[in-house]
Amino acid sequence: MFSAPFSRLRRLGALAFAAVLLVGAPSPGLAADPPAAAQADDATTGYTRAQGLFHERKFREAIAALDAFVAAHPRDARALVLRGDAKADLGENADALKDYNSAIKIEPEYQYAYVTRCETRLQLDDVTGALTDCDNAIRLDATDALAYEDRGDVQFQREAYTLALSDYDRAVELGRSNAYVFAARCDTERLVAKRDLAKADCEKALALDPKSRRGLWARGRLALVETRYTDGIADFNAYIAQNPKASDTAYYFRGLAYNRISSYRLALEDLRTYVQRQPTDPDGYKERAVANYGVGDKDGALADLDVALRGYRKNGDTTAADRVAAMVTSIAAGKTPTP
């Protein structure tokens, strides 16, 4: 049901600069910017100019400079990878992948190219390819902390949480200390039942960046597991406020939390949003049934449970189907349904 509800943070100029700086996901409007024009000498100096433009987050201008440079130097793998990074930061992952592929074909041992292609393949849901790339990056440089962080993301997506935690631990040991890696490790520690460690990592993440969506998500999920529903609601409020259109799953969990503290009208509002956006997920209907019953809409609750039951049966989830059937029985007996 719930894959990671956040975009992987990209890097600024790891290829172009000695230090690697993680930055927030670009605003949706960046991809719609008009094409930028190359300068007259970009065929000669475009790579150097693009480095500076990339660092300033002027990705369109960087691509224009690199287009001219690559046309004159088609086998310059550094330029191809930098152009791929600029495209990836604009969300143009398929085009970025083409540049990374070309660079690796030219230089098969280009370690950073595997690191950045791993991130992009994960964005494109090519988990197997991403894992292979991160493995290659680590093979070529076993001290690259970013490669371990990225492979941790891949393992997390594969639901191989123990392996993900090992990679995040190694990334931190090797010097990664950004909000993202601590938030990702917090989320993973929650999933392997290391809640005390998770709590400390979430606090580290949000101390470094109070607006970290990954951190807010991870701390909110941890709060729900620990039945601290009000705390979880506060974190999901902050998470959703930053990007309501990219917060589907957060609406579900905030709605669940509202249900657990009997704030059924608020829960119903969130769960309506979630079901509208994710109409094939039976979990949304099951949880919305609780909210409907809580506001006195018994018929609405039964209708939602009917949809949820059919969905679980279609998915072959007999345990969840039996739970929904028990909720229907409870309502028929005049009792509050327990999800």
Which domains, and CATH codes, for the chain?
Answer: 1-108 (1.25.40.10), 250-339 (1.25.40.10)
DSSP code of 23?
E
When the pLDDT of each residue in the chain is averaged and rounded to a whole number, the result is: 91
Reported as a single tens digit per residue, the pLDDT across 15-61 is 333 222 223 333 334 445 566 777 878 889 999 999 999 999 999 99
pLDDT at 288: 98
pLDDT at 33: 57
Average of pLDDT values for 302-316? 97
Q: List CB contacts of 184: < 8 A, sequence separation 6 or more.
A: 149, 152, 153, 156, 164, 168, 214, 218
Longest CA pairwise span in the chain (Å): 80
Average of pLDDT values for 150-166? 98
Q: Angle of helix 264-277 relative to helix 248-260, nearest 10 degrees?
A: 150
Average of pLDDT values for 166-192? 98
Helices (H), the chain: 42-55, 59-72, 77-89, 93-106, 111-123, 127-140, 145-157, 161-173, 179-191, 195-208, 213-225, 229-242, 248-260, 264-277, 282-294, 298-315, 318-332
As given in the structure block, the two tokens for residue 49 are 């100019």
pLDDT-based confidence at residue 13 (cuts at 50, 70, 90): very low
d(CA 185, CA 63): 34
Average of pLDDT values for 309-320? 97
Average of pLDDT values for 133-159? 98
Q: What is the pTM of this model?
A: 0.87
d(CA 1, CA 33): 34
Average of pLDDT values for 208-227? 98
d(CA 336, CA 122): 42
pLDDT at 30: 43
pLDDT at 217: 98
Is the pLDDT reported for residue 220 higher than 50? yes
Is the pLDDT reported for residue 189 higher than 50? yes
**What are the beta bridge partners of residue 10?**
23
Q: List CB contacts of 246: < 8 A, sequence separation 6 or more.
A: 5, 7
pLDDT at 16: 35
pLDDT at 14: 41
Is the pLDDT reported for residue 9 higher than 50? no
Is the pLDDT reported for residue 204 higher than 70? yes
pLDDT at 303: 98
Percent of the chain whose predicted confidence (pLDDT) is above 70: 90
- Give yes or no for a contact between 189 and 200, defined as CB atoms under 8 angstroms apart: no
Average of pLDDT values for 138-150? 98
